[in-house]
Amino acid sequence: MVEEPPLDSDIPERPCSVAYVQDDIYTHFDRKWADELCQTFPNRLGMTFAQFQWQLVKIDKGESVVDQGLEALQMDTAELLNPHIILIARGPLVSWIAQLYLESFHLAGLVLVDPLPMDNLQVSGSALAAVIQESTGVYNDHATACTDQYTRLLEKYRQGGGRSLRLELGAVPTLVVQSIHHPLFADGAQQTADRHRFLSDQEADEAEERFVGGDVPIIQLFDDEKLDLQAVAKDEIGAWIERRVL
C-alpha cells in the first residue's frame, strides 16, 4: 500500500518516502498505527507513505525469520523507487531486522518503535509476547506464531548462533520510540539508543574512545485510547525528520 501526497495540497512535497512495518502480533487487530500514519505523512507533511506487510508468521520453522525479513525489506524498499526512505519499524522483531538491514543497505532515517536487544534479552519468547498483548490489548491468532518466532530467535542467540549486529554509529539518523509502558521496553529503548550512540567496550578499547555516534533521542509515547497518533506523528516524528533527516 502506497499513499501519495494530494495533488491539490498546499504543503510542499518532500523528496523522501516514509515506510512502516510492524511485528505480525499487531496485524489485523491493531490498525491504528498504520491508518493514522497513512493519513499524517502524505496529508500533513507532504511525504509519500508505504506500509510493508511481510506475514512472517507463515515462515516454516526450518527457515530463518531474520533472513526472510531482510529479503522482504530489501525488495519492498527497492519497489519504492526512492533512495531517500525513512523506515518506521514497530515491534522487537522488525526493529531488530531493520537494524541488521543497515549493515548492507542505506536508509535516510530509522525510527525504532519498541525495540529490544534480541541478542541479549533475558526473557522467554512467550513472556515477551504476553507483555505486548497485555500492554496493547491485541489478542489474535497470530500471537502463537509470533511467540514461536520470538522464542526461536532468542534461543538462537543464547546458543551463540545468532547474527551479530554491527552498526556504523551515526551513519543513519535514528529515533527510538517507547510505546509500551513496561520496564522491559524502557530498558530496551535505552539499550538500543546507547547502541547507536556508543561503541562496545571491546571496540572502545581498540578505538580509544567511547562516544562516536550522533544524538539518538528517545520518545516515550504510551499507546492508549486517548493518544492522538496523527498529532504525535506530525509534532514528534515529523519534527525529528525535519530536524535530523531533511
Domain CATH code at residue 35: 3.40.50.1820
Q: Note the pLDDT of residue 40.
A: 87
Residues sharing a CB contact under 8 Å with residue 59, sequence separation 6 or more, in sequence order: 65, 68, 149
Indicate whether 121 pLDDT > 50.
yes
State the CB neighbour count (10 A cutoff) for residue 180: 21
pLDDT digits over 223-238, tens only?
Answer: 555 567 777 777 888 8
In what helix (H) or strand (E) does residue 109 lie, and over which residues does it extend? Answer: strand 109-113
Indicate whether 137 pLDDT > 80.
no
Q: Note the pLDDT of residue 141.
A: 63
- Give the C-alpha separation, 165 to 226, whole Å: 36
- Give the C-alpha separation, 6 to 11, whole Å: 9
Q: Coil, strand or helix: which one is 227?
A: coil
Q: Coil, strand or helix: which one is 71?
A: helix
Q: Lowest mean pLDDT: which of 42-56, 168-182, 201-215?
A: 201-215
Confidence tier at 204 by pLDDT (50, 70, 90): very low
Range of the domain at 38: 2-245
Q: Give mean pLDDT, residues 212-227.
A: 73
Chain-centroid distance of CA 174 in Å reads: 10
pLDDT digits over 83-97, tens only?
Answer: 899 999 999 999 999
More confident residue, 197 or 90: 90
Q: Note the pLDDT of residue 159.
A: 86
Burial degree of 132 (CB within 10 A; 0-12, 13-18, 19+): buried
- Give the C-alpha separation, 97 to 230, whole Å: 26
- Give the C-alpha separation, 21 to 81, whole Å: 17
Q: Note the pLDDT of residue 61.
A: 54
- Give the C-alpha separation, 124 to 151, whole Å: 6
Percentage, residues of the chain above pLDDT 70: 82
* DSSP annotation of 241: I
State the CB neighbour count (10 A cutoff) for residue 77: 21
Indicate whether 201 pLDDT > 90.
no
| Number of domains the chain contains | 1
Q: Give mean pLDDT, residues 138-144.
A: 65
Q: Coil, strand or helix: which one is 85?
A: strand
Lookup: cell for 4: 501519495
- Give the C-alpha separation, 170 to 167, whole Å: 9
Confidence tier at 103 by pLDDT (50, 70, 90): confident
Q: pTM of the predicted model, to two decimals?
A: 0.88
What angle, 0 to 180 degrees and rounded to 10, lies between the N-to-C axes of helices 125-136 and 183-197? 110
Indicate whether 107 pLDDT > 60.
yes
Count of residues in the chain: 246
Average pLDDT, the chain: 83
Q: Coil, strand or helix: which one is 87?
A: strand
- Give the C-alpha separation, 246 to 243, whole Å: 7
